């Protein structure tokens, strides 16, 4: 069932214990349609198959027994993010789930949180290191990034599950652990990034792999979106300097159309082949909008002038619906909302913005908190506004099925009225 590569020092699955069942589940989950009268039952069937597949299509990572698409599989978190996200979207679209179906989803999410807590989550027996030596064939960073965004989804959109898993703060702390591992350069101790020639790089499928660097940055934006949907403030540890350094390398190594090829990929009869999914991610311009995360977290100055910014997401180039969701639909960026602030006194502030195509409502954030959700118009008035200090605000457009289309944010300040002249009373 397994073949061993002595040179790379890892067990590779010769059958379908790896990405095949997870990709199958992702495709099935993404195809669920809220207009289908049987969609709740179909979702439940997918949850049942998380544990075991009676059709014996797949095997376990250890090769000991048949399992389903998720339980004990190291790549399961990619599909689990889809499952949790689509469940909420179906609910927001009016789909009614019965108590049994909700319990099944909770049990799946709880199982995955427990696996992340215990550390029983990697597909490969070894990554980053093999026999004490650095193994640059496959970084753990991709796994850590997928777990981090799954945990963000749990504590933001499934707080009841987080509470049973030790509490929201505990799950958020675990999310931070995996996020920082994914963007740590301490490669020998499990960090997802390796410094090569003084440059922060992402190692995967044979060596330095810039498309996978973009994948992890795009995944970080998937996690960020769960905060926007829940109306929770984004933690400051998202401002990870290694994420910014990784993106700078991605910009520097990209061709003008956004495509990239690594010189250390496997050679096939002298021809360089993609370091990841052939023909999908490594030569398609604008498919991986990693720059949306960078602009949202670090601002405009984070981009190297004149180079490709990796903010486009060309749906016409993406064949898989689950990839289209993760790379495009669930990756909000900045929108040209043209926000204008106006105040006539130090007691109120009026926010006005331009409408955006596809928006069914707007969420307004003021002073770090979401103060309004689903605003139908294009203005909001904040009361009791303090003067003389920068005031943070944000407006996010929400589309069909509750998706965050993007937003705009900034700070404004209200001038304090001059203090009145005090006159001394004449006796």
Q: Mind listing the pLDDT tens digit for each residue in 5-20? A: 222 223 333 334 667 7
The total number of residues written for the chain in this structure: 427
Assigned domain for 348 exists: yes
CA angle 143, 145, 146 (to 5 degrees): 65
Domain co-membership, 158 together with 289 = yes
- Residue where a domain terminates, one of 125, 152, 174: 125
Domain co-membership, 163 together with 120 = no
At 295, list the tokens.
């602009």
Domain co-membership, 286 together with 191 = yes
Residue 221 contacts residue 332 (beta carbons within 8 Å)? yes
Domain co-membership, 306 together with 199 = yes
Domain co-membership, 309 together with 351 = no
Domain co-membership, 365 together with 319 = no
Domain co-membership, 289 together with 380 = no
Are β-strands 404-412 and 333-334 bridged in parallel, bridged antiparallel, or unpaired?
A: parallel
The count of other CB atoms within 10 Å of the CB of residue 245 is 17
Where in the sequence is the domain holding 304, given as residue range(s)? Answer: 140-330
Assigned domain for 355 exists: yes
pLDDT of 3 > 50? The answer is: no
- Show Cβ contacts of residue 228 under 8 Å, excluding neighbours closer than 6 positions: 332, 363, 396, 404, 407
Question: Mapping DSSP to helix (H, G, I), strand (E, B) and coil, where does residue 274 land?
Answer: coil
Question: Mapping DSSP to helix (H, G, I), strand (E, B) and coil, where does residue 238 land?
Answer: helix
Give per-residue pLDDT as tens, 369-427. Answer: 889 989 999 999 988 888 888 888 899 999 989 899 999 888 888 888 765 444 343 33
Residue 207 contacts residue 275 (beta carbons within 8 Å)? yes
At 388, list the tokens.
């003389």
Number of domains in the chain: 3
Exposure letters 281-295 (e unless 16+ CB within 10 A, then b): bbbbbbbbbbbbbbb
Assigned domain for 106 exists: yes
Q: For residue 46, with 0-12 CB atoms within 10 Å meaning exposed, 13-18 middle and 19 or more buried, which class applies?
A: buried
Range with the lowest mean pLDDT among 168-182, 234-248, 280-294?
280-294
Q: How many Cα neighbours within 13 Å face the side chain of 179?
A: 27
- Residue where a domain terminates, one of 330, 356, 385: 330
Domain co-membership, 155 together with 288 = yes
Residue 48: φ, ψ to 5°: -60, -40
Q: Tell me the pLDDT band of 204, cut-offs 50, 70 and 90.
A: confident
Q: Kindly report the pTM of this predicted structure.
A: 0.86
Assigned domain for 288 exists: yes
Domain co-membership, 299 together with 172 = yes
Domain co-membership, 68 together with 84 = yes
Average pLDDT over the chain, rounded to an integer: 82
- Residue where a domain terminates, one of 284, 310, 330: 330
Sign for the pseudo-dihedral over CA of 120, 122, 127, 130? positive
Are β-strands 361-366 and 391-398 bridged in parallel, bridged antiparallel, or unpaired?
A: antiparallel
Per-residue pLDDT, 317: 72
Domain co-membership, 146 together with 203 = yes
Q: Tell me the pLDDT band of 361, cut-offs 50, 70 and 90.
A: very high
- Show Cβ contacts of residue 189 under 8 Å, excluding neighbours closer than 6 positions: none
Domain co-membership, 285 together with 342 = no
- The more confidently predicted of residues 132 and 385 is 385
The count of other CB atoms within 10 Å of the CB of residue 370 is 18
Assigned domain for 421 exists: no
CA atoms of 109 and 96, how far apart (whole Å): 19
CATH of the domain at 400: 2.60.40.10
């Amino acid at each position: 069932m397994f073949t061993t590569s002595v040179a790379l020092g890892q067990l590779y699955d010769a059958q379908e214990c790896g990405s095949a069942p997870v990709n199958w589940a992702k495709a099935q989950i993404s195809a669920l349609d809220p207009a289908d009268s049987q969609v709740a039952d179909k979702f439940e069937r997918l949850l049942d198959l998380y544990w075991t597949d009676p059709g014996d299509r797949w095997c376990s990572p250890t090769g000991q027994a048949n399992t389903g698409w998720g339980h004990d599989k190291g790549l399961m978190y990619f599909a689990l993010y889809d499952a949790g996200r689509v469940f909420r979207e179906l609910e927001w679209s009016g789909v009614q789930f019965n108590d049994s179906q909700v319990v099944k989803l909770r049990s799946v999410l709880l199982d995955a949180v427990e696996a992340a807590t215990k550390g029983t989550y990697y597909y490969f027996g070894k990554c980053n290191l093999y026999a004490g030596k650095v193994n640059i064939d496959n970084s753990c960073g991709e796994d850590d990034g997928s777990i981090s965004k799954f945990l963000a989804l749990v504590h933001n959109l499934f707080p009841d599950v987080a509470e049973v898993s030790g509490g929201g703060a505990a799950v958020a702390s675990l999310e931070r652990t995996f996020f920082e591992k994914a963007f740590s350069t301490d490669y020998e101790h499990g960090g997802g990034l390796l410094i090569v020639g003084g440059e922060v790089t992402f190692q995967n499928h044979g060596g330095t792999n810039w498309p996978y660097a973009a994948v992890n940055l795009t995944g970080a934006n998937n996690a960020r979106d769960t905060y926007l949907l829940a109306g929770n403030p984004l933690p400051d540890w998202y401002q990870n300097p290694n994420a910014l350094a990784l993106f700078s390398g991605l910009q520097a190594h990209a061709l003008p159309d956004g495509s990239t090829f690594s010189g250390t990929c496997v050679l096939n009869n002298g021809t360089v082949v993609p370091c990841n999914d052939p023909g999908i991610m490594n030569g398609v311009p604008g498919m991986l909008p990693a720059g949306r995360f960078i602009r949202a977290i670090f601002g405009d100055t984070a981009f190297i002038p004149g180079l490709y910014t990796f903010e486009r997401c060309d749906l016409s180039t993406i064949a898989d619906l689950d990839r289209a969701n993760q790379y495009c639909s669930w990756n909000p960026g900045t929108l040209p909302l043209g926000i204008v602030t106006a105040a006539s006194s130090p007691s109120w502030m009026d926010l006005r913005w331009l409408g955006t195509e596809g928006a069914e409502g707007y969420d307004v954030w003021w002073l770090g908190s979401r103060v309004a959700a689903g605003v139908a118009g294009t203005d909001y008035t904040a009361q009791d506004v303090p003067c003389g200090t920068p005031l943070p605000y944000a407006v996010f457009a929400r589309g069909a099925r509750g998706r965050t289309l993007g937003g705009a944010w900034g700070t404004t300040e209200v001038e304090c009225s001059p203090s009145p002249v005090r006159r001394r009373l004449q006796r």
